[in-house]
Amino acid sequence: MTPDQMRDASLLELFSLEADAQTQVLSAGLLALERNPTLADQLEACMRAAHSLKGAARIVGVDAGVSVSHVMEDCLVSAQEGRLYLQPEHIDALLQGTDLLMRIATPGNDVGPAHVEAYVALMARLLDPSQPIAGAAPKPAPAPSVEPLPPEPEPAAPVTSEPPRQNKRMTEGGERVLRVTAERLNSLLDLSSKSLVETQRLKPHLASMQRLKRVQSHSLRALDTLDGHLKTLDLNLEAQEALADTRRLLSEAQALLAEKNAELDEFCWQAGQRAQVLYDTALACRMRPFADVLAGQVRMVRDLGRSLGKQVRLEIEGEKTQVDRDVLEKLEAPLTHLLRNAVDHGIEMPEQRLLAGKPAEGVIRLRASHQAGLLVLQLSDDGNGVDLERLRGTIVDRQLSPLETALRLSEEELLTFLFLPGFSLRDKVTEVSGRGVGLDAVQHMVRQLRGAVVLEQTAGQGSRFHLEVPLTLSVVRSLVVEVGEEAYAFPLAHIERMCDLAPDDIVQLEGRQHFWHEGRHVGLVAASQLLQRPAGQNNEDTLKVVVIRERDAIYGIAVERFVGERTLVVLPLDDRLGKVQDISAGALLDDGSVVLIVDVEDMLRSVDKLLNTGRLERIARRSQQATEAPRKRVLVVDDSLTVRELQRKLLLNRGYEVAVAVDGMDGWNALRSEDFDLLITDIDMPRMDGIELVTLLRRDNRLQSLPVMVVSYKDREEDRRRGLDAGADYYLAKASFHDDALLDAVVELIGGARG
């Protein structure tokens, strides 16, 4: 490639970038002018955009762009000068020109001279002096008289997964912007997530060091006790010197251990903080504003409404809400479908709305926000809502439910039928999806994002879709279970519920095991058979079951143990492994152990295959009553009733026996009169604080080896050091307190509730 060709290629790329930016200005401005053609700021913005494109096209030698932007500029200048009052047909034509300019600026476009000549001729007819002037009453909007251009070609699939064109600009908001491939961003996020998990592996080592420090302290006390006994004996000088050397060496070892323990604790804390910042920063690099998925949606709603003879406006809130790039890309299709549904079958015709006491113009609202680590979308319209009685009749007519059952269905239950494959309230199929048609596909796409979608409606006032999806696909909230003594994770988006089944709850039906769930029999399958793991011995009174669903398929998967909910950083499997049956990815738990994330759709297909081949195994019920170990006892000391009760319930639900004390003095009395396996204490309390309580406990021969956890609102390094130096084995800050953190720490210190 010659230098001139390279220069031309670079200029064309810049022209393409400018066209992308300026056509967005034109689209937004023209839609605003359609509502109020006299907005001076919007007329100026649109005219400037057309003028800039004309100049840019002339510089790079794109004559087609010069011609199209020139006639658009003439139209907008006429409107600015009061020689033209913009009618709907002018807006249609200007929007058509905007689309044509974007096609012209796209490399490899198929725009020929005939397209440009047709558009220039169209604008010439619209700029005829017979059009009304500014100040005159606007005429009723006629049907669009714009001649259609030849259809646009289907866009080619992207060769690379780069960010959208607008992210390639050299500057944006005063900051430098660099082009980075999606693969490198994914690699950075993967490395940072692994670093975050690796820092968690330091915690068990720190706990071991703290226990070793305690053992050293006990050894010194034991030596002092031995020295006291030996003083009654007549030891020779060598024995006395050996005893003194032992005491000196133990003291030195304890001092060194305390020093290194403090260093390790500080390193763990700092490494965890920095790894979290690194991960958050890497994740932010993949984030894009929600507005990026809305490109063209406002225009699509407007154009579809006009083609149907409706007046519709799309209002958007939360355009700057940040979401992962991959999530945004996968949201575009379901959002487009729901918006088209709302325009076509949600919003009524203007005359119907006026008769119902509504404005002639219908409104569709789309709101995006962050809630608890999720992207929450609410898409509502002020249309007619769903005719529940008609829906009930359709359900009966299609033999989806008997009449007597359908009459008892609640509104929520009725609306779930709209998500069934092929279900529609329409008698005729139109080019635009009807409400209910394709909602199963919307639900499927949302669930692929590990999210959920719910429909609500008010008769005569409109419908609302509530969608929740993760902000990023790099992490997934999951239920971790144990199968064949190995950990597996079920994404929460696919879990209907968790339950404990008593033996009497399991019934035989048509040769298969079932249980009753939400008014229907649900098949029961052993996870050990699906995942090809050895079946563990079930010594529990109940069977642990995860109820999973994908579309209309639902099964109960029997596991050995519920480990708990975890937020897992997704680690893709090595490509050389190919598709692993029933598994989608891997992750690391806090202790560094591997957990495999279940592919729920694949697992349901495996269940169907086992059923069809008759190879489904029965789950053996508990044959004999096992002798249960006594439950471990925990003492919770906290002067806050709320905190005390929260911790008590969490521990009780996990199977521990729990006693409570209202302050350090009350706790000390309980410790001296009863036996416990663990003490959990606050620091700031009346009468006796937590530091005093732990200090007394470590001086007591009977209690000095009791594990201690401090739970405090204070999370400064000096507060942590004070608690650990007093003899605590674990320090947990209430500011970052959550259920899993407390329970994981308890298990780490004393194990499970039994044995």
Dihedral sign of CA atoms 435, 438, 439, 440 in order: positive
- 384 membership: H or E segment, kind and range: none
Question: Is the C-alpha dihedral spanning 473, 475, 479, 485 positive or negative?
Answer: positive
Q: In 3D, which of 666, 665, 660, 632 has the Cα closest to residue 646?
A: 660
Quick check: is 442 in a domain?
A: yes
Region 344-368: mean pLDDT is 92
**Once rounded to an integer, what is the mean pLDDT over residues 158-179?**
47
Question: How big is the chain by its Cα radius of gyration, in Å?
Answer: 35
Tell me the DSSP string of 409-445: --HHHHHHGGGSTT--S-SS--SSPPTTTTHHHHHHH
Q: Which long-range contacts (CB under 8 A, 24 or more apart) does 156-159 make?
A: 156/108
Provide the pLDDT for residue 172.
Answer: 62
Least confident of 145-149, 206-210, 485-489: 145-149
- The residue behind tokens 């708990």 is 564
CA distances, 157 to each of 99, 110, 160, 392, 400 (Å): 19, 16, 9, 42, 40
Indicate whether 15 and 125 sit together in one domain. yes
Same domain, 596 and 692: no
Q: What is the CATH number of the domain that holds 720?
A: 3.40.50.2300
What's the pLDDT tens digit per position in 696-736?
A: 998 888 888 899 999 887 667 777 788 888 888 888 876 55
- pLDDT of res. 176: 67
CA distance 84 to 87: 9
**Would the pLDDT of 459 be above 70?**
yes
Sheet with 311-317, edge to edge strand ranges: 311-317, 361-371, 374-381, 462-470, 452-458
Q: Mean per-residue pLDDT for 528-554? A: 80
Residue 361: left if φ>0, alpha if ψ -120 to 50, beta else—which one? beta
Residue whose entry in the numeric block shows the structure tokens 């680590």: 373
Q: Are 431 and 404 in contact (CB under 8 A)?
A: no
**pLDDT at residue 621 is higher than 70:** no
**What residues does 362 pair with on adjacent strands?**
312
For the residues of 311-332, what is the DSSP string, one character each?
Answer: EEEEEEE-TT-EEEHHHHHHHH
pLDDT tens across 229-260, in order?
A: 887 777 788 888 888 888 888 888 888 888 88
Domain boundary among 470, 498, 522: 470
Residues 466/510, Cβ–Cβ less than 8 Å = no
Q: Looking at the structure, do residues 311 and 454 belong to the same domain, yes or no? A: yes
153 domain-assigned: no
Domain membership of residue 510 (yes or no) is: yes
Classify residue 161: in a domain, yes or no.
no
Do 592 and 505 belong together in one domain? Answer: yes
Label residue 568 left, alpha or beta by phi (over 0 means left) and psi (-120 to 50 means alpha): beta
Q: Does 294 lie in the same domain as 268?
A: no
Q: Which of 493, 525, 474 is nearest to 601 (CA)?
A: 493
Q: 412-435: per-residue pLDDT in tens?
A: 888 888 887 777 766 554 555 444
pLDDT band at 609 (very low <50, low <70, confident <90, very high): confident
| 358 belongs to a structural domain | yes
Nearest Cα neighbor of 97 from 111, 83, 87, 84 is 111
Question: Quick one: tokens of 273?
Answer: 């903080």
Predicted confidence (pLDDT) per residue in 54-81, tens digit: 888 888 888 999 999 999 999 999 999 8
Phi, psi dihedrals of residue 412, rounded to the nearest 5°: -60, -45
Is 498 part of any domain? yes
Q: How far apart are CA 39 and CA 22, in angstroms?
A: 18
Q: 368 and 351, same structural domain? A: yes
727 with 743, same domain: the answer is yes
Query: Residue 453's Cα: distance from chain center in Å?
Result: 13
SS3 content of the chain, % helix, strand, coil (to 5): 50, 20, 30
The three-class DSSP label of residue 700 is: coil
Pairing of β 171-172 and β 175-176: antiparallel
For residue 655, give the amino acid letter.
Answer: G
Q: Select, from the ranges 196-200, 268-272, 675-679, the one with the highest average predicted confidence (pLDDT).
A: 675-679
List phi, psi (to 5°) of 532: 55, 50
Confidence of residue 15 (pLDDT cuts 50, 70, 90): confident
Residue 488 and residue 456 share a domain: no
pLDDT at 373: 67
- What is the extent of the structural domain holding 698? 633-750
Residues 577 and 535 in one domain: yes
Task: Provide the pLDDT confidence category of residue 142 given band limits of 50, 70 and 90.
Answer: very low
> How many C-beta atoms lie closer than 10 Å to residue 460's C-beta?
14
pLDDT at 473: 76
Rounded-to-integer distance, Cα 440 and Cα 451, Å: 14
What the block records as the tokens of 703 is 């209690």
Q: Report percent pLDDT > 70 for the chain.
A: 85
Of 470, 493, 527, the domain-final residue: 470
**In the predicted model, is pLDDT for residue 3 greater than 70?**
no
* Mean pLDDT (whole number) for 606-619: 77
Check residue 91 and give its pLDDT: 92
Cα–Cα dist 490/498, whole Å = 11
Average pLDDT over residues 20-43: 90
Decide if 266 is inside a domain: yes
Q: Are strands 361-371 and 311-317 parallel, antiparallel or unpaired?
A: parallel
Q: Does residue 734 fall inside a structural domain?
A: yes
Closest Cα to residue 486, out of 595, 599, 600? Answer: 595
* 81-118 pLDDT tens trace: 888 999 989 999 999 999 999 999 888 888 889 999 99
Candidates 337, 359, 350; CA nearest to 306 is 350
Question: 72 CB contacts (<8 Å, ≥6 apart)?
Answer: 26, 50, 94, 97, 98, 101, 123
Domain boundary among 449, 470, 491: 470
Q: CATH no. for residue 369?
A: 3.30.565.10
63 and 142 belong to one structural domain: yes
- Per-position DSSP letters for 491-521, written without gaps between them: EGGGEEEEEEE-GGG-EEETTEEEEEETTEE
What SS3 state is found at 177? Answer: coil
Q: Is the dihedral of CA 272, 276, 279, 282 positive or negative?
A: negative
pLDDT at 734: 65
Q: Which two tokens stand for residue 458?
A: 């008010």
Mean of pLDDT values over 406-411: 86
At 129 the three-state DSSP class reads: coil
Angstrom distance (rounded) from CA 461 to CA 359: 12
Instruction: Check residue 175 and give its pLDDT.
Output: 60
Q: Which distant-in-sequence residues (6+ apart) come within 8 Å of 443 by Cβ?
A: 419, 453, 551
DSSP codes, 264-279:
HHHHHHHHHHHHHHHH
Residues 422 and 493 in one domain: no
* Number of structural domains in the chain: 5
Whose CA is closest to 485, among 542, 527, 442, 437?
Answer: 527
Q: Are 638 and 740 in the same domain?
A: yes
